[in-house]
Amino acid sequence: MPVLGFGTYQIEDLEVCERSVADALRTGYRLVDTAAGYENEEAVGRAIEASDVPREEVFVTTKLWIQDAGYESTKRAFERSLDRLGLDYLDLYLIHQPFGDVHGSWRAMEDLYDEDVVRAIGVSNFDPDRLVDLIVQNEVVPAVNQIETHPFYQRTDDAAFLSEYGIQHESWGPFAEGRNDLFEHDVLVSIGERYGKSAAQVVLRWLLQRGIVAIPKSVHEERIVENFDVFDFELRVEDMNSIAELNESKSLFGDHRDPEFVRQLSNVRANT
């Protein structure tokens, strides 16, 4: 699994999505992340097919939405995602949210894994207690947990837990969608100036040095290129410590243990 990928959340215009994924592949990204709930799998698939990059060199992730939770419905949803992507296998399939019949979904995903139509299976937005429940009740340990992780919500305890179980920590929302003025934040900008890098590049480098996979999103080619240019410098210990002090230890987008947030998410119906 590449350590740096391209995210497609909220790229709802399919032409823009296809162009952006094509730009990312041309730049050098080899991990592309999508989801049934994003409703852009078709565009991602077209960009991959049109690319000069061989299919086996592209690590493709998609996700199962809540409404399709359960054993049989997961099997059907997986086939629909494959069809929309125009692929005959996936590199990673994730349970998008920890709600609904996740155990039924996981058993279906274990079968898909055994059938070698998906190379790895994992989860997204699972807190440690939900992960342990999934692990002890099933056979395959999730390969990945994709969770909100950025300088203002650093997930240090989660990272330690995931490491203990050999689960790869993957960050969604690495830039916090620009909240808390991330791109102009004094600490991040000042660190970047020492390396000739932007605040965004500092954030990505910080994640990579923590062993966390990042999937930044942009629809602007110059930003797509900039976000990939993070392999020629290394943050010093004092820089890592300065960023650690930005942690607010809470989500900027929603608490998966808040009943109202759970209710809202579970009422979302994607065109899957």
Whole-number Cα distances in Å, 256 to 34, 79, 97, 102, 121: 21, 28, 9, 15, 21
In this prediction, residue 272 carries a pLDDT of 66
> What is the gyration radius of the CA atoms in the chain, in angstroms?
18
Which stretches of the chain drop beneath a pLDDT of 70?
272
Active site annotation includes 71: no
In this prediction, residue 271 carries a pLDDT of 72
What pLDDT digit, counting tens, does each position of 95-140 carry? 999 999 999 999 999 999 999 999 999 999 999 999 999 999 999 9
- The residue range of the domain holding 95 is 6-266
The answer as to whether 95 is a domain residue is yes
The answer as to whether 25 is a domain residue is yes
The answer as to whether 204 is a domain residue is yes
The answer as to whether 1 is a domain residue is no
Q: Considering its fold, how many domains does the chain have in total?
A: 1
Question: SS3 for 188?
Answer: helix
For residue 143, what is the DSSP state?
Answer: S
CATH number for position 81: 3.20.20.100
Distance of CA 166 to the CA centre of its chain: 17
User: Out of 38, 89, 165, 195, which one is annotated catalytic?
Assistant: 38
The answer as to whether 271 is a domain residue is no
CB-CB neighbours of 233 under 10 Å: 15
The answer as to whether 192 is a domain residue is yes
The answer as to whether 20 is a domain residue is yes
The answer as to whether 183 is a domain residue is yes
d(CA 186, CA 139): 46
What is the model's pTM?
0.96
